[in-house]
Amino acid sequence: MTTVPSDHDEGTVVAARVERRWTILSAGLVGLMIGVALFAGIHRATMPQVWVETANPRTLHVSGEFIESNLGSALEADGSVTVRAVGQQFSFTPQCMLVPADTPITFRATSSDVVHGFLITGTNINGMLVPGYVTALPAKFANPGEYSMPCQEFCGMGHEGMWAKVKVVDKATFSDMAKQNRRLSCVAQ
């Protein structure tokens, strides 16, 4: 009598083969995903931003966007507001930024010396002011109110005392004020 491999044995062999292939495939997929996550994380952390705007810290006060007379809040033609600010050891200019509620706002800021932080407490607005570069942060405040803005990057002996304020006023008040002044802030108001 000859022995013929039974269906059972053959089935086991096929099942083992299929299982092995699936194991390799799923392990490969997991490996691939880890690889992609690692690459993306390391790449993002080590490459400069794709989109970079520069501002020479040596000539900030002399010419260009961050000259003192151009700092503060500006009402744009499209109804949005641009706030320009400079951080320096150990203050922000303007020291109090005025913005309207319920309006798209862009903060544009840079540093004239070392790295400072740009953080508006109670919001998700949190950036770094790096000398040589412009930090642009979009924002929108639902209601009038006041927010403090402590520098959150250690920048020297006066770091603890470096902070500013953001004052949010209602839209109508802001637009009335914008008719009087090209650039607004709440310093001395």
List of residues contacting ligand CUA (CB under 6 A):
87, 90, 116-117, 151, 153-155, 159, 162
- Please state the closest distance from residue 77 (CB atom) to ligand CUA, in A: 33
C-beta closer to ligand CUA: residue 74 or 151: 151
Residue with structure tokens 């740009």? 118
Instruction: Give which of 65, 92, 80 is closest to 185, Cα–Cα.
Output: 92
- Please state the closest distance from residue 158 (CB atom) to ligand CUA, in A: 8
Cα 132 to Cα 21, 151, 155, distances in angstroms: 54, 18, 16
- Please state the closest distance from residue 173 (CB atom) to ligand CUA, in A: 30
C-beta closer to ligand CUA: residue 86 or 155: 155
C-beta closer to ligand CUA: residue 141 or 163: 163
